[in-house]
Structure 1
Amino acid sequence: MYIKLCTPSEITQWARYIWNRLSVPKHRFSLWLALLDRHKTKYRLHQYGISTDNLCAICGSAPETSAHLFFECSYSLDCLAAVTDWLGLSCTRKNFLQILNWTRRYCKSAFKRKIIFAAVAGLVYAIWRPRNTLVWEGAVPAVATVIQTLKYSVKQRAIQLCQDRINELDKSWLFAL
């Protein structure tokens, strides 16, 4: 038992995406749950016999799995398109892990990479929260409202934590967002 406890565990590929200092802690937690497929979606609750149906709360056209809710649903695709336009990304990936891997490979600036990681984490939270609002209160906010809140939180977190530590090019890019 001692040897099993002492052996190092596998390092996950996505750990660097989640534990990014520029991400808001509640965004990190939501992304972590999404990567582990542990959100309490209707599909999972239906498997346990808790929910009466397993259809997506937002679009109602497919089972509400994490894969569907995050970037297959029409609402989340609209949110993703707004965030990629905001950040100036040309990534056409439709899965948050693929987006994070693409960013790690092709984004040259470490600061921009961290901002994109923080934005994707925030986007996962920003999609999960309106889904819960719809389930519990019966209303879903507009995509523009959700994205405006996301932009503000990501940008303010970055400005607050590292305004003095970034170069002028990255600083001008951040303030232009």
Structure 2
Amino acid sequence: MLKLKPELHKMMRCNVGDERSVSFWFDWWTDLGPLISVFGNRGTRDLRIPLDASVCVAAPNGLWTLPPARSDEAETLQVVLSTMQPPSPVRGQDSFLWRSGACSFLPKFSSKATWNIIREPSPLVSWNKMVWFKEEIPRYSFVSWMALLSRLPTRDRLISWGLLVPPVCPLCSLDSETHDHLFFTCTFSTAIWSHFAGWMFPTPPLAFASVADIMNLPRITSRSGAGTVLKLLLQAIVYSIWRERNHRIFRDSSSTVAAIAKVVDRSMRDRLLSLPPPPPDGTVSLLQLYFSTPVSSRLSFI
């Protein structure tokens, strides 16, 4: 019989069938939990059931057959078994269930449910939907998430770790590289943001906090799908700025502001084109919504 680690017992239950594959001692097949944890090492002697026995050993003739109770634990077990049907071939094979909630178990394993159970939940941050949403591009979301947390290895962080690197920003060479400078106050980054200024955001944002404020503008909240297009655009710009920064450092190559803007525009069109079309009720698609912005038509001629 397979002996599961104690933490796995909390995640699994056994659905009683013929009980030929369920361990009498180590699987969780009664409300008492794994019986080895109830009886300890003396359990095999008290119940006269070997340590490697399956549950069907306790019901050889279709009835629960245990020796007279000689302890409180054995008496409790007999009471519990009196409420359970003995194993039988007509009930089919045993099955194992995975925890799907606080008090529910399902025959299918869910990584999401398991993660929600074993993790320590924390309050949702205000910007969670700005980073994680259904239409996201995973690598864009990851870089945006790291940028929001100020966890990207910018030069100010590398210097704080004791590394000998030049502090100057590789995009503008005018100031020290920090998260706020790299993505918002750098003249190169500001020029990229300015390319996309329009009905979505009137002026380039000054920090990630102002990006979150843009999401709450009436022109965004009042139009269906505008929030999704804006979130994709914000992440595409942040990702492209970070990518250009790395190219300049590690590949010794650089692109112009116009070239970066064209890359952002192309990635937006490709992603929005890959999304399912809207229902035939007159709803404007996200791609059409993006095309309705003045900047998208302007960029197509760069």
Settle same-fold status: TM greater than 0.5. Answer: yes
The Cα shift of 1:147 comes to 1.1
Residue 121 (structure 1) aligned with residue 229 (structure 2): no
SS at match of 1:168: coil
CA–CA distance in 1 between the matches of 2:285 and 2:171? 40
Residue in structure 1 matched with residue 284 of structure 2 by the alignment: 168
2:262 pairs with one of 148, 162, 165: 148
1:105-154, CA deviations, whole angstroms, 9 ceiling, x for partnerless residues?
32122301110111001110010001001111222211111111111112
* Count of equivalent residues: 172
Any stretches of 5+ residues in structure 2 without a counterpart?
1-117, 297-302
Aligned amino acid, residue 271 of structure 2: R
SS at match of 1:99: helix
Aligned amino acid, residue 96 of structure 1: F
CA–CA distance in 2 between the matches of 1:21 and 1:147? 24
RMSD of the TM alignment (CA)?
Answer: 2.2
- Alpha carbons of 1:171 and 1:47: their partners in 2 closer, same or farther (altered >3 Å)? closer
Residue in structure 1 matched with residue 23 of structure 2 by the alignment: none
Correspondences of 1:92-103 after superposition (within 5 Å):
92-103=204-215
Aligned amino acid, residue 55 of structure 1: V
Residue in structure 1 matched with residue 193 of structure 2 by the alignment: 80
The Cα shift of 1:164 comes to 2.7
- Of 156-165 and 132-141, the range deviating more from structure 2: 156-165
Structure whose residues are more often helix by fraction: 1
8 A contact 1:111–1:170 mirrored in 2: yes
Residue in structure 2 matched with residue 157 of structure 1 by the alignment: 271
CA–CA distance in 1 between the matches of 2:172 and 2:135? 31
CA–CA distance in 2 between the matches of 1:35 and 1:146? 21
Residue in structure 2 matched with residue 63 of structure 1 by the alignment: 176
Aligned amino acid, residue 93 of structure 1: P
8 A contact 1:91–1:102 mirrored in 2: no
Residue in structure 1 matched with residue 51 of structure 2 by the alignment: none
8 A contact 2:197–2:203 mirrored in 1: yes
Aligned amino acid, residue 141 of structure 1: S
TM-score, normalised on structure 2? 0.52
Residue 34 (structure 1) aligned with residue 133 (structure 2): no
SS at match of 1:113: helix
Percent identity of equivalent pairs: 23
1:33-82, CA deviations, whole angstroms, 9 ceiling, x for partnerless residues?
10000111011101112233211112122110101001110010001001
SS at match of 1:162: coil
- Of 64-73 and 101-110, the range deviating more from structure 2: 101-110
- Alpha carbons of 1:171 and 1:80: their partners in 2 closer, same or farther (altered >3 Å)? closer
CA–CA distance in 2 between the matches of 1:84 and 1:44? 30
8 A contact 1:18–1:31 mirrored in 2: yes
Any stretches of 5+ residues in structure 1 without a counterpart?
none
2:217 pairs with one of 101, 105, 121: 105
- Alpha carbons of 1:6 and 1:155: their partners in 2 closer, same or farther (altered >3 Å)? closer
8 A contact 2:200–2:230 mirrored in 1: no
Residue in structure 1 matched with residue 108 of structure 2 by the alignment: none
CA–CA distance in 2 between the matches of 1:54 and 1:24? 31
